[in-house]
Amino acid sequence: MNMKWISIAFLFSILFILGLPVEAYAHGARIEYKIDMSIEIVATYDNGDPMAGAQVVVYAPDDPSTPWLTGVCDDEGRFTFVPDPSKPGIWDVQVRQAGHGDMVHIPIGEDTVATTGAGGYTVLQIVLMAACVIWGFVGTGFYFSRRRA
Amino acid sequence: MLVGCAAGKVATGTLQFYANGEDFVREGFVSKDGWSINFDHVYISLADVTAYQTDPPYDPHSGADVKGKVKVSLPRTYTVDLAEGDADAAPILVGEVKNAAAGHYNAISWKMVKVSSGPANGYSLVIAGTAEKAGQSVDFDLKVDTEYGYSCGEFVGDQRKGILREGSTADVEMTFHFDHIFGDADTPMDDELNLGAVGFGPFAGIAEGGKLDVHMAGLQAKLPAGDYQALVDMLPTLGHVGEGHCHCH
């Protein structure tokens, strides 16, 4: 499992929030952003072969009997979806192919921004990472706006 | 038997436990080495059958014992015939528990045990049937006395199982994959299933007069060592929950 919690759109949105200069917005451009927290699963057989084309069923925490989403893995056994953040709890993902199958249980909490099978990012870590990204853009802005001697 | 605790009145329903040999047992199938196998009886003896509500959900890959906040058990040992009924027969109802606490039973454990009475007396598993190939026919009766314990997570299949709501009935299933022993002609020969399976040819090779009635000690004495070891390796992998694998101990 892997979480993609940040996107290019998100990086642009940071600049917009800071009100950094200037040219990029001079013509009335409007940039909206949306932060998607997608979940990517990778399904493999025990020997490491990807479960290419395997059936995927996703169950949301509020209705464990009814599939919330269905799909298939790609050639590398990957499947990505964006859970509904208004439904915190355990999201269950079942993958099946040719008589083999497994189910993974992914905790999505209100304060869970991202997790992986090996542990996730806390809110504090996310804030620190975002601050680093912001500072990188600020520094880049100062570099290009400096006056030549 | 219901084991669990909660304050006040507990919402309950009926939880049923099924055993399923799948279409392989009900309809018969062709082994990896081309033997057409049909089963007369597949007696399997089950004990300590327990369903659990686990949080976080039990992971059989962990190899740990199942620990649930609520568990429901069948009270005794059961011998069932997975080949009972015709090709369209339903899975076998092993038992049920009324007044089981409502909730999601997302793990199950059981033991496959040697019994001292009934049609499988002295064994934990008896596989009886007929195999045919190219004009040859072998009536076989394979008797296993080894005992196994299985710890499994949630059922993996077409429908989700084990979600018990107040006043309703839900079921959990113990599934047994006999293609792991004989292989499956409909599966690629380089699939791990067929690479690990014994096939039926080695059993046919030790039959006498078209009959083979043998237990594990006899198989160890008569089968080529590699085939016997393959059988020993595959027997613990019989137990599943639908298509989901279990931990065998």
Query: Does residue B150 carry a pLDDT above 90?
Result: yes
Q: Pick from A98, A26, A71: which is nearest to B156 by CA? A: A98
pLDDT confidence bin for A28, thresholds 50/70/90: confident
Model's pTM, two decimal places?
0.80
| Average pLDDT rounded to a whole number, residues A65-76 | 96
Number of folded domains in chain A? 1
The minimal CB distance from A103 to the residues B104, B154, B187 is found for B154
Q: Do B192 and A105 touch (CB under 8 A)?
A: no
Is there a cis peptide before residue A107, judged by omega within 30 degrees of 0? no
Residues from chain B that touch A92, judged by Cβ atoms under 8 A, are: 57, 154
- CB pair distance less than 8 Å for A105 and B56: yes
Q: What integer pLDDT is reported at residue A67 of this predicted model?
A: 96
Give residue-wise pLDDT tens across range B76-102. 999 999 999 988 899 999 999 999 999
Asked whether the beta carbons of residue A101 and residue B154 sit closer than 8 angstroms, the reply is no
Chain A residues closer than 8 Å to B57 by CB:
90, 92, 103, 105
- Are the beta carbons of B238 and B177 closer than 8 angstroms? yes
Please, what is the average pLDDT of chain B?
95
**Which residues in A lie closer than 8 A to residue B245 (C-beta atoms)?**
102
Model confidence over A33-57: pLDDT tens digits? 766 678 999 999 888 889 999 999 9
Q: Which residue of B has its CA nearest to A103?
A: B156
Contact residues on chain B for A109, CB-CB shorter than 8 A: none
| Digit-coded pLDDT (tens) for B6-29 | 456 789 999 999 999 999 999 999
- Across the A:B interface, residue pairs with CB atoms under 8 Å apart total 41
Q: Kindly report, residue by residue over B186-235, the tens digit of the pLDDT.
A: 999 998 899 999 999 999 999 999 999 999 999 999 999 999 999 999 99
**Does B108 or A1 have the greater pLDDT score?**
B108
Q: Residue A22: is it exposed, middle or buried by C-beta count within 10 angstroms (0-12/13-18/19+)?
A: exposed
Nearest to B156 among A46, A90, A102 (CB): A102
What residues in chain A have their Cβ under 8 A from chain B's Cβ atoms? 45-47, 59, 64-65, 90, 92, 94, 96, 98-103, 105, 107
pLDDT score of A114: 42
Structural domain range at position A78: 2-145
Q: Considering only CB atoms, which chain B residues are within 8 Å of A107?
A: 56
- By Cβ distance, the residue of B156, B179, B187 closest to A103 is B156
* Residues forming a β-bridge with B3: B71
Domain residue spans in chain B?
Answer: 13-248
Inter-chain touch B160–A102, beta carbons under 8 Å: no
Considering chain A, what percentage of its residues have pLDDT values greater than 90?
A: 38
* Cα of A112 vs its chain's centroid, Å: 12
Give DSSP secondary structure letters for chain B: -EE---SSPPPEEEEEEEEE-HHHHHH-EE-TTS-EEEEEEEEEEEEEEEEEE-SSPP-GGG-PPP--SEEEE--S-EEEETT-S-TTPPPEEEEEEEEEEPEE--EEEEEE--BSSSTTBT-SEEEEEEEEETTEEEEEEEEE---EEEEE-S-BSSS---EEPTT-EEEEEEEE-THHHH--TTS-TTSHHHHH---SHHHHHT-BTTEEEEEHHHHHHHS-HHHHHHHHHHGGG-EEEBTEEEEE-
